[in-house]
């Protein structure tokens, strides 16, 4: 049935926004786009710092849906998914997925990437809501984190290239 299939799909799809996804991306960048490695490394750093900074220092007690809503029986949960209680804002999985999408828009010269990458990132964000791990606002925060990450990373890349020219 559709509900069971969606449960399985989102249970696994959400891992595509996990921080571990940076490892194969970094290897691919190192193999095929070495000149953009500072951009990628800056993105990993800023994505982590912005997300963890918000979660641990700005809004450390921000509850997750199953903690914030007292009648949790009204919330759909997926068997096998560990429900977290706090550190909800922003969604790190969404931030990672949208950062990868935005980086891909810069680094992958194929038109097909934009719609495919957007759907990938959007589904990671939606998976966090579907799995009762985040509120929509948390997912929006993850998207904003990705935007700030990209802007900061581009600045680092530009400084790197400028510095490299002078040495």
- Give tens-digit pLDDT for 1-28: 767 899 999 999 999 999 999 999 999 9
Q: Among 53-62, 68-77, 100-109, where is mean pLDDT lowest?
A: 68-77
Q: Which domain holds residue 138?
A: 2-166
Domains in the chain: how many in total? 1
What pLDDT was estimated at residue 166?
A: 82
Average pLDDT score over residue span 91-99 = 97
Instruction: Using a pLDDT cut of 90, give the percent of the chain over it.
Output: 71
pLDDT of residue 72: 60
- Is the pLDDT reported for residue 122 higher than 90? yes
| Measured distance CA(18)–CA(24) in Å, rounded | 12
Is the per-residue pLDDT at 45 higher than 80? yes
Q: What is the pTM of this model?
A: 0.90
Residue 153 has pLDDT above 70, yes or no: yes
């Amino acid at each position: 049935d559709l509900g069971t299939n969606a449960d399985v799909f989102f249970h696994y799809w959400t891992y595509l926004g996990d921080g571990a996804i940076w490892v194969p991306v970094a290897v691919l960048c190192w193999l095929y786009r070495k000149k953009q490695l500072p951009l990628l490394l800056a993105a990993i750093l800023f994505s982590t710092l912005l997300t963890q900074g918000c979660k641990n220092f700005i809004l450390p007690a921000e509850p997750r849906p199953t903690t914030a809503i007292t009648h949790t029986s009204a919330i759909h949960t997926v068997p096998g998914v560990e429900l977290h209680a706090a550190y909800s804002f922003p969604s790190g999985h969404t931030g990672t997925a949208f950062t990868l999408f935005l980086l891909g828009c810069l680094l992958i010269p194929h038109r097909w990437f934009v719609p495919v990458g957007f759907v990938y990132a959007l589904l990671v964000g939606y998976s966090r809501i579907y799995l009762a791990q985040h509120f929509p606002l948390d997912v929006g925060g993850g998207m904003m984190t990705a935007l700030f990450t990209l802007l900061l990373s581009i600045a680092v890349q530009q400084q790197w290239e400028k510095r490299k020219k002078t040495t």
